[in-house]
Amino acid sequence: MAAVIEVEDLHYTYRDGTRALQGLSLSIPAGSRVALLGPNGAGKSTFLLHLNGLYLPQRGKVRVMGQEVNARTAREIKSRVGLVFQDPDDQVFSSTVGEDVAFGPVNMGLSATEVERRVQEALAAVQMEAYRDKPPYHLSYGQKKRVAIAGVLAMGPEIIVLDEPMAYLDPQGKDTLLDILDRLHRRGATILVATHDVDMAASWADRVIIIKNGRTLAQGDPSLLVQEDIIRQANLRFPLVAQIFRSLPELQLKTVPYTVEQAAALLKDILAGHRV
Ligand X SMILES: Nc1ncnc2c1ncn2[C@@H]1O[C@H](COP(=O)(O)OP(=O)(O)O)[C@@H](O)[C@H]1O
**Contact with ligand X (CB under 6 A) among 22, 27, 45, 233:** 45
Pairing of strands 67-68, 19-29: unpaired
Backbone angles phi, psi at 166, to 5 degrees: -85, -15
**Contact with ligand X (CB under 6 A) among 26, 34, 38, 159:** 38
State how far the alpha carbon of 205 is from the alpha carbons of 39, 87, 194, 275, in Å. Answer: 18, 22, 11, 29
| 219 contributes a contact to Mg ion by CB under 5 A | no
CB of 87 to ligand X, least distance (A): 12
Residue whose CB is less far from ligand X, 40 or 247? 40
Residue whose CB is less far from ligand X, 15 or 254? 15
Q: Among the candidate windows 11-19, 23-31, 62-70, 198-206, which touches ligand X by CB under 6 A? A: 11-19
Residue whose CB is less far from ligand X, 185 or 196? 196
Residue whose CB is less far from ligand X, 14 or 137? 14
| 22 contributes a contact to Mg ion by CB under 5 A | no
| 41 contributes a contact to ligand X by CB under 6 A | yes
Q: Total residues at the site for Mg ion (CB under 5 A)?
A: 2
CB of 11 to ligand X, least distance (A): 12
- Give me the residues that bind Mg ion (CB under 5 A), please: 44-45
